[in-house]
């Protein structure tokens, strides 16, 4: 059907070009708001009525006559109706919709994917400080970031995943002193225990392994403990490496892999932070006031100027962020997306202001941001607020162990990022239609069981279904299912543009429901060989699209449940 749509669009473009030179380039179809009105629609008549100084309804009638004379419309279109002030609704013949089955089966995992564009993008996500286990909020970031990367890969982008480590600052110092106190035998509640120290059991685990002089390895480092409780720098290096390893395990359990880990400390050690301050100073975009160095960020839309260097000589946190984003641009990433919590909203204007003020050729609006809210966790009808291991929050690993990787990913992606979300653990493990991930995966497994039964009885192979006679696929349920399959590529494109992987979850739930309706309406393994093969081709194509969509989310498509 995608090929059919292209043919029809070309005919529409030619008709519009006859009416008004240049109008053909704007030819487009949309989906009617009411399914009964048709399968495709165009508002071209209303758009051209004013420049042509014609009544839009009459113009629609003229365009209808022109389209009906075109060969592709004669071949694929059953009817063209005019509605309202000039809406043109197009109803396709069943054979037009049936083409999507062949296209899906022929393209398999490539269905929905666009050709390579040559564009490069970097998505930075999770970016947790190495001061504790990953919490549920980091899990939402991981699911969002990975799915957005997958979405853009379907659109032909070369995508690079990056984890930015804030390994310089006060929090790392707090981690080191908390571990040191634990190693010396102190614990939370003791008079010697600072109010701001980290209290989770993981601190005791780090201290124990430090005293035992263990070696820890992570993706980007390795360190052997000295066991000397007075060597605070050793404790710091060991604790960071230990938590890096722990976070690696969390990400592995969540099936998230990064191409690079970028250290905040490297920006200082390489002189990039000082370089960006010099750029801003040389551009005349800074000034001294009250012993601090300020950026004239109001010149770039910020609500007030921002302090860059405090009176004690230290930089505020957005300065290394500016330096970091300049490196992203210098590494050739024309598009950059940052996945962060909504508490980072205030940094957007100042980072973009710093990038513009640096005058290094970075376009306005760089980088893009996707901000997400935190996640409430409910278990047994009650909110879970703490984890014994973490001390003050539910960890990502807790959530995966209570449910599954698939459930956590699908659930955390099932709402817009900036909406509040409550993760219901009991629902996530339920094996019924109320559980959305189970509902979608069950649709896939159900199809696989039908195909397996066919293979066992008839020795058939899915590849042979590409040549099936699809003419029996005429029922309302079959036509609705084929029409929905045809919407998958456009859905992916729109979801990528809007950074909206939740659109994929909505689509998959709708597709699963549409399949279940079809399955209930028509028996698939019938005696009539032609009918059976047509229906098998349709459900095999449905399984393929379910598989492809779940893969975008990083969720498995089981063959048995």
Q: Enter the CATH code of domain 433-553.
A: 1.10.730.10
- Least reliable range by pLDDT among 242-251, 405-414, 443-452: 242-251
pTM of the entire predicted model: 0.91
pLDDT band at 387 (very low <50, low <70, confident <90, very high): low
- 17's tokens: 């070009």
Q: Enter the CATH code of domain 2-92.
A: 3.30.1360.70
Asked if residue 295 lies in contact with residue 286, where contact means CB atoms within 8 angstroms, the answer is yes
Asked if residue 468 lies in contact with residue 536, where contact means CB atoms within 8 angstroms, the answer is yes
Q: How far apart are CA 410 and CA 165, in angstroms?
A: 26
410-458 pLDDT, tens digit per residue, is: 999 999 999 999 999 999 999 999 999 999 999 999 999 999 999 999 8
- Whether the ω angle into residue 248 lies within 30 degrees of 0, i.e. cis, is no
- 219's tokens: 């993706």
Q: Biggest alpha carbon distance in the chain?
A: 89
pLDDT for residue 442: 97
Asked if residue 249 lies in contact with residue 153, where contact means CB atoms within 8 angstroms, the answer is no
Q: How far apart are CA 201 and CA 329, in angstroms?
A: 41
Name the burial class of residue 84, with classes exposed (0-12), middle (13-18) and buried (19+) by CB atoms within 10 angstroms of its CB: exposed
**Average pLDDT estimate for 72-94:** 92
260-299 pLDDT, tens digit per residue, is: 999 888 999 999 999 999 999 999 999 999 999 999 999 9
- Least reliable range by pLDDT among 23-37, 99-113, 189-203: 23-37
Q: How far apart are CA 550 and CA 140, in angstroms?
A: 17
**Would the pLDDT of 388 be above 60?**
no
**Average pLDDT estimate for 523-532:** 96
Taking Cα atoms as reference points, which of 345, 414, 416, 412 lies closest to residue 375?
A: 412
Residues in the chain: 561
Residues of the chain with CATH 3.30.1360.70: 2-92
- Least reliable range by pLDDT among 83-92, 166-175, 220-229, 259-268: 166-175
Q: What is the dihedral of CA 251, 253, 255, 259, to 10 degrees?
A: 30
**Would the pLDDT of 173 be above 80?**
yes
Residues of the chain with CATH 1.10.730.10: 433-553
3-class SS at 192?
A: coil
Residue labelled with tokens 């969002």: 144
22-77 pLDDT, tens digit per residue, is: 888 888 998 888 878 889 999 998 898 888 888 989 989 999 999 999 999 999 99
pLDDT for residue 390: 58
Mean pLDDT, rounded, of the chain: 93
């Amino acid at each position: 059907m995608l090929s059919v749509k292209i043919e029809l669009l070309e005919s529409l473009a030619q008709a519009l070009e006859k009416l008004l030179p240049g109008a053909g380039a704007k030819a487009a179809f949309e989906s009617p708001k009411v399914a009964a009105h048709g399968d495709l629609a165009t508002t071209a008549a209303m758009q051209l009525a004013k420049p042509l100084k014609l009544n839009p309804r009459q113009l629609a009638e003229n365009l209808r006559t022109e389209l009906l004379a075109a060969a592709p419309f004669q071949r694929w279109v059953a009817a063209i109706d005019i509605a309202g002030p000039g809406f043109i609704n197009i109803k396709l013949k069943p054979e037009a919709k049936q083409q999507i089955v062949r296209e899906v089966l022929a393209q398999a995992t490539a269905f929905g994917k666009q050709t390579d564009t040559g564009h490069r993008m970097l998505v930075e996500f999770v970016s947790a400080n190495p001061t504790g286990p990953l919490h549920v909020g980091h899990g939402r970031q991981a699911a969002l970031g990975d799915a957005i990367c997958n979405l853009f890969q379907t659109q032909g982008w070369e995508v690079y995943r990056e984890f930015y480590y804030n390994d310089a600052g006060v929090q790392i110092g707090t981690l080191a002193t908390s571990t040191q106190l634990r190693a010396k035998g102190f614990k939370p509640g003791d008079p010697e225990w600072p109010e701001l120290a980290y209290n989770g059991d993981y601190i005791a685990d780090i201290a124990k392994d430090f005293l035992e002089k263990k070696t820890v390895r992570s993706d980007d480092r390795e360190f052997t403990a000295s066991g000397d409780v007075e060597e605070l720098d050793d404790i710091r290096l060991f604790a960071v490496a230990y938590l890096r390893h722990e976070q690696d395990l969390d990400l592995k359990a969540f099936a998230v892999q990064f191409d690079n880990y970028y250290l905040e400390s490297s920006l200082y050690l390489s002189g990039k932070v000082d370089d960006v301050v010099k750029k801003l100073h040389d551009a005349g975009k800074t000034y001294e006031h009250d012993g601090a160095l300020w950026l004239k960020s109001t010149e770039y839309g910020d609500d007030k100027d921002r302090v860059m260097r405090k009176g004690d000589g230290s930089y505020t946190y957005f300065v290394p962020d500016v330096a970091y984003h300049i490196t992203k641009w210098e590494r050739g990433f024309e598009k950059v997306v940052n996945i962060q919590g909504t508490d980072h909203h205030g940094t957007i204007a100042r980072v973009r202001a710093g990038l513009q003020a640096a005058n290094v050729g970075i376009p306005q609006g760089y980088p893009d941001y996707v901000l997400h809210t935190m996640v409430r966790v409910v278990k047994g009808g009650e909110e879970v607020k703490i984890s014994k291991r973490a001390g003050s929050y539910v960890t990502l690993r807790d959530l995966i162990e209570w449910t599954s990787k698939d459930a956590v990913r699908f659930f955390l992606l099932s709402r817009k990022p900036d909406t509040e979300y409550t993760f219901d653990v009991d629902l996530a493990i339920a094996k019924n239609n109320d559980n959305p991930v189970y509902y979608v995966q069950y649709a896939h497994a159900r199809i696989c069981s039908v195909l397996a039964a066919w293979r066992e009885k008839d020795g058939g192979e899915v590849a042979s279904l590409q040549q099936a006679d699809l003419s029996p696929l005429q029922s309302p349920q079959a036509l609705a299912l084929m029409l929905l399959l045809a919407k998958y590529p456009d859905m992916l494109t729109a979801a990528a543009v809007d950074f909206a992987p939740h659109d994929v979850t909505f689509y998959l739930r709708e597709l699963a429901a549409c399949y279940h309706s079809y399955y209930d309406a028509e028996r698939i393994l019938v005696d009539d060989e032609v009918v059976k093969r047509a229906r098998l081709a349709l459900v095999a194509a449905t399984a393929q699209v379910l598989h492809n969509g779940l893969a975008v989310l990083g969720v498995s498509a089981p063959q048995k449940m």
